[in-house]
Structure 1
Amino acid sequence: MQNYQLRRLSDQPILSTQDVKPSIDGFEVLGAFNPAACRFGDEIILLLRVAEAPKPQPGKIQIPLIENRDGVPTLTVKQFDEPDGDYDPRVVTLRGRQYLTSLSHLRLARSIDGIHFVVDTKPFLFPARMDESYGIEDARITYLDGRYWIAYTAVSEQGPAVGMAVTTDFKTVDRIGLILPPPNKDVALFPAKIDGKYKLLHRPMASEIGKPSIWLAESIDGVHWGNHKFLFGGRGHDDPAFIWEGGKIGGGPEPILTDEGWLICYHGADATNAYALALALLDKEDPSKVLDRSTRPLLVPELPWEREGFFPNVVFTNGWVQWPDGRVWVYYGAADSGVGVAELQRN
């Protein structure tokens, strides 16, 4: 992994919050970031995570969420008095219940050259189930069995879970439903079956015992998952050289098959929640075997728009594409406010 580098293709974001229009009257876009990515015909498709919230009201906190109204999941806005003193502008606890202050959905963007994108004005996938009541976040796209599988984080008051949807044309989309219960996220489906079985990466969220780590699971139908195996975790707990992945770790886009094995990109975060990107290599025939890992991050927040934003000091990828000539472009969210692109190069 030491032979790879990530080279930014632009010193400016290719998409920013200002490029995306709100999908709901009276709302504003707080962030457009963390896109899934794939090739579709002669286009590059991104599925942006778009975070929206009601326009501010003085002295009030407005919480957008999906509520059950007579058996129908319905978009509602709860309003509370603003708490005294400082509080987290993204997550608040009000009257004993924790809420997100924005609601995320997936928005489609298209490009021919992979740099200049046209963003749809309406959501591609909007929260529509009670297990998505706090939003849909950070999708990954994998083409397999003639369909594009979209794994995403479905957030509700029960925590983050993993939802799956499929499409063939990026016009219509069918939800499969939850495939992994909370707390879990960062799911990427392998683009080929191995030993006749579907495989995916996922990240259970450790609590009192355990540390953040990436796991492997398998399925015979792509819906029901089992045989879960620990793959690897952050090394910063034991070695100061790896402090950049000592706080959090999670998988990125779908693995890419190379001559050496399955190449995966993952993110690590330190104790201050500064995020970085790195690589790992898994065995072709048995991806539970880790053959190699980065000893240093390939991309860290350096530019102003990567260091400052809705959630500062973040570079986070859940989408990359491989061009016919072998080039790999990595699309990454920056500070939860925009999208950058870098090319994966081998020395």
Structure 2
Amino acid sequence: MKNYQLKRLFDQPILQTIDVKPAIDGFEVLGAFNPATCLLGDEVIMLLRVAEAPLAREGYLSIPLIEEKDGIPTLTVRHFKEPEGDYDPRVVTIDGKQYLTSLSHLRLARSRDGIHFDIDDKPFLFPARMDESFGIEDARITFLDNQYWITYTAVSEHGPAVGLARTTDFTTVERLGLILPPPNKDVALFPKQINGKYVMLHRPMVSEIGKPSVWMAESEDGVNWGNHRFLFGGRGLADTRFAWEGAKIGAGPEPLLTDEGWLVCYHGADATHAYALALALLDKDDPTQVLDRSAGPLLTPDLPWEQEGFFPNVVFSNGWIQWPAQSAHPNKIWVYYGAADSGVGLAELIHI
């Protein structure tokens, strides 16, 4: 992939956590990041991951989650004494049970120029099922069969799973529930059927054996998936030149069809949990064939706002757009990326 570069369009984020209002009374926004993006007419649509938490009480952790009350999933807040010593600011274990310290949802934002966004005050998708009880995270959007398919990570006490929703207008939305059980995430749907089948990239989360890698699956209807196959994994275990993706990798936004094949943006993490962005190229007729991959990362967390935040040293993309020929930015590919779980950056993918 020597013929591609990722160039930041700005050395500052185009959107920050402080730009987003809390959707829940008595909560604060801890992070606004990792947006899915698409074009709807002449607008850029963004589904932003917004992490909110109750305002802090000294000496206590206030954990937001969805719990069943009279059979109805309901937002609740549970209060625990703050653990002694250092602890992960995102995930805590209390009385042997893990909790997330914030609750994420998807917030809609719109833009005419792809740079300046108007952000809705209320969620577009908010956790509403028990398999979403710890939040909804990191969506991807694919335009397929004349509608927009939204895949997202649905988190609960049982782990991260993959949910699916569909919309035609980003005003009304149909939830279809889970399409992959835990533990799985990073699902990107191809924007057309291949050999009569819907195709997805996904990332099972392994434990004692193996590393989190990119897999592929097929479906007759886009809801029920099978024929799961390993596609590619991180190369850092075999070659230290690839340490930047040695810990884990995962697919980013929906693949783009080019003259050379299917272009896949993916993230890689190293042993220190620093995230970088890279590309892979798949055969256009048989995407199980990996034709090429980046020899090195195309974007790394080099700027202060990419290095410092709720989760430091992260650039993570799950949204890009290809501007149409008749637009202000003809045929350009813009890559939107989350930075340190605290804001959104914008880069251009350049074919050289």
Q: What TM bracket, shorter-length normalisation?
A: over 0.9
Q: Which residue of 2 aligns with 1:227?
A: 227
What is the total number of aligned residue pairs between the two structures?
347
Q: Which residue of 2 aligns with 1:34?
A: 34
Separation in structure 2 between the aligned mates of residue 84 and residue 253 of structure 1, nearest angstrom = 39
Q: Any idea what SS the aligned residue of 1:201 has?
A: strand
TM-score by length of 1: 1.00
Q: Any idea what SS the aligned residue of 2:243 has?
A: helix
Q: Which residue of 1 aligns with 2:345?
A: 340
TM-score by length of 2: 0.98
Q: Any idea what SS the aligned residue of 1:260 has?
A: coil
RMSD: 0.5
Indicate yes or no: 2:132 matched with 1:127.
Answer: no
Q: Which residue of 2 aligns with 1:117?
A: 117
Indicate yes or no: 2:352 matched with 1:329.
Answer: no
Instruction: For 2:194, give the aligned amino acid.
Output: I
Instruction: For 2:252, give the aligned amino acid.
Output: G
Q: Deviations over 1:8-34 (max 9, x none)?
A: 011110000000000000000000000
Q: Any idea what SS the aligned residue of 1:58 has?
A: coil
Q: Which residue of 2 aligns with 1:193?
A: 193
Instruction: For 2:238, give the aligned amino acid.
Output: D
Separation in structure 2 between the aligned mates of residue 55 and residue 24 of structure 1, nearest angstrom = 11
Separation in structure 1 between the aligned mates of residue 88 and residue 235 of structure 2, nearest angstrom = 29
Q: Deviations over 1:187-219 (max 9, x none)?
A: 000000001110000000010111111000000
Instruction: For 2:58, give the aligned amino acid.
Output: P
Instruction: For 2:349, give the aligned amino acid.
Output: L
User: Any unmatched runs of 5+ in structure 2?
Assistant: 325-329
TM-superposed CA distance for 1:342, in Å, is 0.2
Instruction: For 2:331, give the aligned amino acid.
Output: G
User: Any unmatched runs of 5+ in structure 1?
Assistant: none
Separation in structure 1 between the aligned mates of residue 212 and residue 170 of structure 2, nearest angstrom = 33
Indicate yes or no: 2:310 matched with 1:310.
Answer: yes
Q: Which residue of 1 aligns with 2:9?
A: 9
Separation in structure 1 between the aligned mates of residue 271 and residue 248 of structure 2, nearest angstrom = 8
Structure 1, 185-194 or 81-90: larger mean CA deviation? 81-90
Instruction: For 1:111, give the aligned amino acid.
Output: S
Separation in structure 2 between the aligned mates of residue 67 and residue 16 of structure 1, nearest angstrom = 30
5 Å matches for 1:103-252? Answer: 103-252=103-252
Q: Any idea what SS the aligned residue of 2:216 has?
A: strand
Identical-pair percentage: 76
Instruction: For 2:301, give the aligned amino acid.
Output: P
Structure 1, 156-165 or 83-92: larger mean CA deviation? 83-92
Instruction: For 1:66, give the aligned amino acid.
Output: I
After the TM superposition, which parts of structure 1 deviate over 3 Å for at least 4 consecutive aligned residues?
none
TM-superposed CA distance for 1:245, in Å, is 0.1
Q: Any idea what SS the aligned residue of 1:211 has?
A: coil
